[in-house]
A and B are shown apart, each in its own frame.
Chain A
Amino acid sequence: MQNVYLAGIGATPVGEHYTRSLIDLALESLRQAFVDIKYHATPSQVGALYVANAMGEALAGDAHLGALLATMAGFQGVEAFRLSSAGASGGVALHQACMAVASGVHDLVVILGVEKVTDKLQDAQEASLSLATDSDFEAFHGITVTSQWAMLMRRYMHEYGYEADAFAPFPINAHANGTANPEAMYRFPVKISTYQKASQIASPLNMLDCSTLADGAATVLLVSERLMREIGNPPVRVAGRALASDTLALHDRPDPLWLSAVHQSARRALHQARMEPADVDVLELTDPHGIAAALALEASGFVTRGTSPRHAADGGITPTGTTPIATAGGYKSRGDIGGASGVYQVVELVRQLRGCAPSGQVPNARVAFAQSLGGVGATAVTHILVRDD
């Protein structure tokens, strides 16, 4: 197996891009990624295009995205296809793309995450998102992914003795970091007093506990070691990668507060990289709500069960803490870009490892942890990224 590197990155601002199409957003991020490598590799060298997209049919009116975007980008004839695994689509695409380069099949592949959601109103968005749940036994009852997380949060509060505002440090950290990120959707700080007054979305989750689904596209260029040397950007290597699955339905899990796929993917990816959780300098989690980050930190082995809110209150999740998360604003401030989120995560972590993050830079970050979830961790993909020089 060859080493695999993240050579180029690009991303559009996250937001409500009413005047711009899915194609517009996708091409902007693609072009940026090739500018980022200063065209040391050309589009003619692209071996494959992996398009990560979760909700194209329902919200964008497009489903055949591989060929569409390949031809629009000028990659006509190239191997191109779409990967769709709910919110984990971006992580899944990177995971699959890594194998193509590691195996030596390709020297350069493109991972393009794109989601266009704001052409539709909220009821359609919620219905589309709820397809990540068990359609016969959850979505059928009007269950949303947000309400799944909400039920886990209430149970967590019950089992470990927390009040709802114990989760306030998560959005406060996310917004503090996202304020300086030009790509973030909500660039303003949040105070605890504002959090306490926020109206309910799915109790006990309030408005400031909940991310907003938005439009955006992000691209990463994945290359072989040989090409990485030619390109010359600071080398960021994919040192570990693992994908695991769990039941869609919460009620089918023996212990709903334990995200077993998260545990398995984190453990395997760290093992592959020959690392422990303590070796990680900066993280990107799927954190649409504080409870999601809390359960992922626990299942991934960063903190013990029941302690995430205390860890967050002690500053552990800030850029100077032991597990910095949401350094670019996370899902809450940057925005939830559906199936593109996993690619945005990697764009941010490459910036962190290059030392050029526009916000929330972790000093001397060398090892990064990206975790992309679909549904409530029914699909979990973890990547370990390492600065290699």
Chain B
Amino acid sequence: MHLAKHWRQKAAYYRLEGQRHRVTGEVRFPARQATVGESDEAAEAWEPFVLSGKGEIYSFSVVRQAPAGFEYLAPYPVALVRLAEGPLVTAQLTDCCEDDLFIGQPVEMVTRRLKDTGKDGVLVYGYKFRPVLTQVKGNG
């Protein structure tokens, strides 16, 4: 577990915090550093911004051959989600079954435990997405 690496992303992982451009209103997620050649002024036009967590499925898959740390979850659905504010984000889906999923399906962010924490026992939380509750067909 990369504890400090995880901690540094807490705003993104727990609040879905990205950035919004003060002038154009464009939203990006995750937050980015200034690029080479970008002025300090231009970089500062990007302000912290918490996204709504609403979006729809751009595409999805179900992982059956899981990396170490995720075996206990397999099989688990993953998706590219087009957020309402524009950015695409990659995350697991939850509270659903594969047969109910479709491209274009409305989803919303929830905070869940992400991986088996191993011997150091740190609880690793982050965002997942679930079908918007009114859209769930049956009990899955």
Contact = CB atoms under 8 A, between A and B. Distances in A.
Interface string B94-128: 00001000010000000000110000000000101
A146 B67 CA distance: 11
Given A127-B69, A250-B80, A155 B103 contact: yes
A162 to B, nearest CB: 13
Interface stretch (B19-27, B34-42, B82-90, B132-140): B82-90
B78 A137 contact: no
Contacts of A151: 58-61, 78-80
B45 interface: no
B98 A203 contact: yes
Q: A137, A141, A152, A154: which has the most chain B beta carbons within 10 Å?
A: A141
A152 B78 CA distance: 12
B28 to A, nearest CB: 9
Interface residues of A, number: 37
Given A151-B78, A158-B59, A251-B80, A144 B90 contact: no
A205 B63 CA distance: 10
Contacts of A230: none
A157 to B, nearest CB: 9
Interface in A92-144: 122-124, 126-127, 129-130, 134-144
Contact of A142 (B9, B63, B87): B63
Nearest to A122: B65
B78 A155 contact: no
A152 B80 CA distance: 10
A356 interface: no
A233 interface: no
A350 interface: no
A150 B61 contact: yes
B44 interface: no
Contact of B70 (A142, A150, A158, A256): A142
B114 A140 contact: yes
Contacts of A124: 68
24 contacts: A122-B65, A123-B66, A126-B65, A126-B66, A130-B67, A136-B9, A138-B90, A141-B90, A141-B114, A141-B126, A142-B67, A142-B73, A142-B92, A142-B114, A144-B65, A146-B63, A150-B61, A151-B80, A158-B103, A203-B62, A203-B98, A250-B80, A251-B80, A251-B90
Interface of B: 5-6, 9, 12, 30, 58-71, 73, 76, 78-80, 87-92, 98, 103, 114-115, 126, 128
